[in-house]
Structure 1
Amino acid sequence: MRFLPLAGSLALLLTACSHQPTPAPEHQAGDITPATSQETRAPAGVALLRGTLSWQGGETRFSPCGSQQQWQLLADGSLTQAWQAMGQPESAYVELYGNLTLGDSRDSPLRLTSKRLNRLSAANLPQSCTETAADSRLILAGEQPAPWAFRLSGNSGVFTSDGLSRTLQLKEQQGQTTGAQQMTLMATDGQQATLVLTPGLCTTDGGQQAWGWQASLSLEGGEPAYQGCARQGHLLAQLQPPLQWRGHWELMRADLALTLTPHYESTLLLVRQQGPQVLYEGAWQPTADGLTVLFNRRNDMGVREAIPFRLQSNHLTADYRLLNGGQVDFDSPLSLVPGTLGSVTPKPAAADTPTAAPLPPSLSAASTADPQVEQALRDYFVMSRSDPHQASYRYGLLDLNGDGRPEALVQMNWCSGGQCVWLIFQGQSQGYRFAARIEALAAPFYVASHTQRGWHDLLAPGSAGSWVQLSHDGISYPVRTQGAPLAPASLLEGATQVSFGQGAWRHLP
């Protein structure tokens, strides 16, 4: 085995991004501490993840063990250097400390930024993910002055060398989390040992593995120090929060089932009183006071959403969610408790069906103000924390979901090049609630008779005279027309043309 110095510049980056994110505050990702009753969960914003890396076409992807997800990886220097030292393999098994964030757009994969390498292996990829070392706090191995190994579980560890083994108890630990760590250990016969860990790459198995720590273990009696490599055990699952949570979202009239996995994947299932179930998919990230769930798929369509939860007294509580770069407050705090919704399982999305309700041939802007529409707009400005000053609007009413209550289609004067922001408010028994925001939508556009998940498709102008299809995913319409699929010409038959060009702009009173 050999040690790899970390000094010096790195010429190769394992990411195709053209810019680097703002560095996050230094986290205590390298803490190696005994398992005691005072021990806390993972350091804020940092998780120890296991999975496979693949390098294709200049881009690096990470897939958690046992998962089909692929996250974009922004590699730190230690991971880059270890990969170079192994001959730059196209795929490898990795354990790393990192933090997860949303991608740049609704269709982007989640982004994993590595902070420190724990282990990189170019061999035995399938077997590595099935290893079970979760009960081991610390794993060490070396060849000098003779082959040796040490495995620390909790406060007790077993040292082996030359066919002999002895139990060592952890008595004291000193040092800073970002620098060298020194541990004092005691054998059952009273012999004392000193273990020193230094952050730095250390290769083993003939260069086929790189571990994140260099280790030196000295025993009393003048014996030469044992030199080798160190890494943390897998996942430390006992430090993670409960993995099953349940709750209720009153505004959506839905029961919630949040599932976390030990490999930091997450799903959120909404079981609504009316309408199809909605399934969010993504990942979760530990934070200083709880965790954040991040989602980039909703009913198999791209989204960009996150919910920061506080963890207190075995409750998860959230005051807001992050939606497409903006903050949207919940009408009342979202609260989850450990548990499941019983036998509820995700249902497939409702089949696409044509609606029997006839649509009018066209929709023009309403000629009079509607106090309930105005109130919905005021609520939207409060919810989105935006200023209604100089904002103007015009609106029309059309039943988009076939429930007999018309939705309010609102065109805002936030326009550029003939493309404007449109807001859709769902009709309720009393008033309206926000349902969708569509940006850069040109008029006229069409409301098709065809429906998906109970809502009419919208047909928006595309390029070169084409039309693109905006389909409801059970929660909302897409935010942008860019990237939407082309609409077949048959959908224009019997569609309602929406054009407010002759309507007067209004200001909120």
Structure 2
Amino acid sequence: MLTLAACSSSPSGPVELGHRSDKVDTGLVHTPQPFMQTGQISVSPETASFTPCGSQKQYWLDLTADQRATLSQQAGPVYSEFEGYFTPVSRRGYSADYPAAVTMTRLNMLTSELEGCAQPRNTLLAEGQTPTTWSAAVGQGHLAWESEQDSQERPLSGQSMSQEQAQFRAQQAALTLNAQGCQQSANTLYGWQARLKTAKGTYQGCAILPSVDTSQHWAGEYQGTSQSPGQPTLTTQLTLLPDHSAITSYHPQGEAVTKETGIWQPIGDNQVQVLTTRSGEQMVVSERIYTRNGFTLTASEETFNGNTYSLGHDGLTLRLKVGDAVNVSNQTGIKGSAEKNPRVEQALKDYLNDNGQTGPLTYRWLTHDLNQDGQPELLVLTDSCGSGGCTLLVFKGDAQGWQFNSRMTLVHVPLLLARNQSQGWHDLIVPVGGGGAPAGHHVMRFDGQRYPLNPSTAPHAPKPDGSDTALFADGIYATQQGAVLGEE
């Protein structure tokens, strides 16, 4: 049970628990970027540990004296949401038994009311009982609120956020959050105080931010090969798991595989830090910074036990593993084209106009008859990409031209034209990987009107045997080489 005293503004209050302002010596060359973490916290007189949701891993929880004093009031494990980051553990003491340490920088919620983990939330939630019962939510560009006086939902007209305050504005309403501990029940502590001001009055309460870990787009498997003179070919595989654990394996051709384990965390929009803490059974501190370019990661150097070493002239480059093997180019099949074609351009312009879009758009395309009617369909691979793949557009062919039919996200190439058919259209076998989705192949079946939107939620397909026709067989994405819509 969380006592009301924990909400006071005294030095032992929740501001110190959830909003850490002291400088932590991480022992790392690059400063980690705090990200949202959810899981179970356990505190004993000697230890404090954190177990992420969906994981069996336990990490040492690096606490200030005030944080430990507040958490020690709990009779058992409690569910927690907080922003924080990983650091290496000490080689001595209780923490040495853990793979890494977690530093809590900002509390979002702490509760003993949940036995397990909550589902990730994409919305900000606020509620209170002053002066009357009220609630509010922010999500999908809207502010919604409800009280005894009124109930409204309005588009956001503005928003701002800093370490200490967040504000969301809509017509006739403003929701302001302050980074101070807040408690409305004996079992739950929130990291934010909330004030909702509307045309009907001003309301006070507590709030929590969305609990989604926005760094999950890094999760996936990456692989590359290299060879030094006189040495066997070395295959390096890096696995970034959703619970932020990392595994790096090295396989010299004809020799045994060696593995290193640790964690990964973001340090910027386009960089990820891989911290290795165990090489076999040996404790180490190895830090690599990978920069993403499309679907490849490249690290130029490694800091190992305090010493920095170059990873070679070209660095270590690993490519996202998709499907049941690393995506390779030049497969037999139909290659994509970056050549201009007036009919292709017109089909794309019509699609953008119908969807209220103006571009710009870079694309690759090919044609193939998907439904055996003698009219080839148009498949367009666009430069609208995320870490899990790119958007593919399918246009049905007829005597008048191409008409938009299906849109697929998170597509990697080459994809495969299966011999099996659904509703008269060939199934498409799409390789999946990245963005937190495990590598594999999924089958997209036509439902009589269109293909599904998301391959990662489609049924798994058997491992390809090489007999299916590859589409975009060159493995080239529009982000690498493509035609620009509207350019001559």
Task: Provide the TM-score with structure 2 as the length reference.
Answer: 0.55
User: Which residues of structure 2 form unaligned runs of 5+?
Assistant: 327-488
**Which structure 2 residues correspond to residues 279-298 of structure 1 after superposition, within 5 A?**
279-288=259-268, 290-298=271-279
Secondary structure (helix, strand or coil) at the match of 1:114 reads strand
1:160-215 deviation per Cα after TM superposition (whole angstroms, max 9, x unaligned):
334974323211124x61233332113xxxxx1011110011113x2211111110
Are the counterparts in 2 of residues 244 and 339 from structure 1 also a CA contact under 8 Å?
Answer: yes
For the pair 1:224 / 2:201, whether they are aligned, the reply is yes
1:293-350 deviation per Cα after TM superposition (whole angstroms, max 9, x unaligned):
1222345654432322223445322112222332232134011233348369xxxxxx
| Structure 2 equivalent of residue 94 of structure 1 | 80
Determine which of 136, 146, 149 is the counterpart of 2:132.
146
Secondary structure (helix, strand or coil) at the match of 2:316 reads strand
**How far did residue 270 of structure 1 move?**
3.0
Cα gap change, 1:123 to 1:310, in 2 (>3 Å) = same
Are the counterparts in 1 of residues 112 and 188 from structure 2 also a CA contact under 8 Å?
Answer: yes
**How far did residue 217 of structure 1 move?**
0.5
Are the counterparts in 2 of residues 103 and 304 from structure 1 also a CA contact under 8 Å?
Answer: no
**How far did residue 226 of structure 1 move?**
1.8
Are the counterparts in 2 of residues 257 and 341 from structure 1 also a CA contact under 8 Å?
Answer: no
**How far did residue 242 of structure 1 move?**
5.1
**How far did residue 120 of structure 1 move?**
0.8
**Letter of the 1:244 counterpart:** E
Cα gap change, 1:8 to 1:292, in 2 (>3 Å) = same
Are the counterparts in 2 of residues 235 and 262 from structure 1 also a CA contact under 8 Å?
Answer: no
1:213-252 deviation per Cα after TM superposition (whole angstroms, max 9, x unaligned):
11001111xx331211111112244773353333234457
Are the counterparts in 2 of residues 267 and 282 from structure 1 also a CA contact under 8 Å?
Answer: yes
Are the counterparts in 1 of residues 40 and 79 from structure 2 also a CA contact under 8 Å?
Answer: yes
1:47-70 deviation per Cα after TM superposition (whole angstroms, max 9, x unaligned):
111111111242111111122211
Determine which of 144, 151, 169 is the counterpart of 1:184.
169
User: Which residues of structure 1 form unaligned runs of 5+?
Assistant: 28-42, 187-191, 345-509
**Letter of the 1:92 counterpart:** V
What is the aligned residue count? 308
| Structure 2 equivalent of residue 194 of structure 1 | 174
Cα gap change, 1:23 to 1:297, in 2 (>3 Å) = closer
Determine which of 231, 234, 243 is the counterpart of 2:220.
243
| Structure 2 equivalent of residue 309 of structure 1 | 290
State how far apart, in whole Å, the 2-side matches of 1:144 and 1:65 are.
Answer: 33
| Structure 1 equivalent of residue 254 of structure 2 | 274
Secondary structure (helix, strand or coil) at the match of 1:109 reads coil
Which of structures 1 and 2 has the bigger CA Rg?
A: 1
State how far apart, in whole Å, the 1-side matches of 2:281 and 2:118 are.
Answer: 28
Cα gap change, 1:296 to 1:122, in 2 (>3 Å) = same
Cα gap change, 1:276 to 1:118, in 2 (>3 Å) = same
| Structure 2 equivalent of residue 60 of structure 1 | 48
For the pair 1:22 / 2:9, whether they are aligned, the reply is no
Are the counterparts in 1 of residues 49 and 59 from structure 2 also a CA contact under 8 Å?
Answer: yes
Cα gap change, 1:157 to 1:242, in 2 (>3 Å) = farther
Determine which of 197, 204, 212 is the counterpart of 2:191.
212
Are the counterparts in 1 of residues 107 and 191 from structure 2 also a CA contact under 8 Å?
Answer: yes
**How far did residue 153 of structure 1 move?**
1.6
Cα gap change, 1:283 to 1:338, in 2 (>3 Å) = same
1:114-134 deviation per Cα after TM superposition (whole angstroms, max 9, x unaligned):
1111111122231xx24132x
Are the counterparts in 2 of residues 107 and 302 from structure 1 also a CA contact under 8 Å?
Answer: no
Cα-Cα RMSD: 3.6
**Letter of the 2:257 counterpart:** Q
State how far apart, in whole Å, the 2-side matches of 1:250 and 1:271 are.
Answer: 12
Cα gap change, 1:276 to 1:119, in 2 (>3 Å) = same
State how far apart, in whole Å, the 2-side matches of 1:181 and 1:77 are.
Answer: 28
State how far apart, in whole Å, the 1-side matches of 2:109 and 2:60 are.
Answer: 19
1:2-54 deviation per Cα after TM superposition (whole angstroms, max 9, x unaligned):
7924443689x99xxxx9943899x9xxxxxxxxxxxxxxx952111111111
Are the counterparts in 2 of residues 83 and 89 from structure 1 also a CA contact under 8 Å?
Answer: no
**How far did residue 112 of structure 1 move?**
1.1
| Structure 1 equivalent of residue 58 of structure 2 | 70
| Structure 2 equivalent of residue 8 of structure 1 | 11
Secondary structure (helix, strand or coil) at the match of 1:200 reads coil
| Structure 1 equivalent of residue 154 of structure 2 | 168
**Which structure 2 residues correspond to residues 45-444 of structure 1 after superposition, within 5 A?**
45-76=33-64, 79-80=67-68, 83=71, 87-105=73-91, 109-126=99-116, 129-133=117-121, 135-136=122-123, 138-162=124-148, 165-174=151-160, 177-186=162-171, 192-204=172-184, 206-220=185-199, 223-237=200-214, 240-241=217-218, 243-251=220-228, 253-288=233-268, 290-299=271-280, 302-332=283-313, 333-340=315-322, 342=324
| Structure 1 equivalent of residue 346 of structure 2 | none
Cα gap change, 1:47 to 1:238, in 2 (>3 Å) = closer
Are the counterparts in 1 of residues 159 and 169 from structure 2 also a CA contact under 8 Å?
Answer: yes
Larger deviation, residues 50-59 vs 335-344? 335-344
State how far apart, in whole Å, the 1-side matches of 2:299 and 2:266 are.
Answer: 14
Are the counterparts in 2 of residues 201 and 211 from structure 1 also a CA contact under 8 Å?
Answer: yes
**How far did residue 88 of structure 1 move?**
3.1
Secondary structure (helix, strand or coil) at the match of 1:240 reads helix
Cα gap change, 1:218 to 1:338, in 2 (>3 Å) = same
State how far apart, in whole Å, the 1-side matches of 2:65 and 2:97 are.
Answer: 28
| Structure 2 equivalent of residue 387 of structure 1 | none
State how far apart, in whole Å, the 1-side matches of 2:286 and 2:247 are.
Answer: 12
State how far apart, in whole Å, the 2-side matches of 1:107 and 1:326 are.
Answer: 24
State how far apart, in whole Å, the 1-side matches of 2:301 and 2:85 are.
Answer: 21
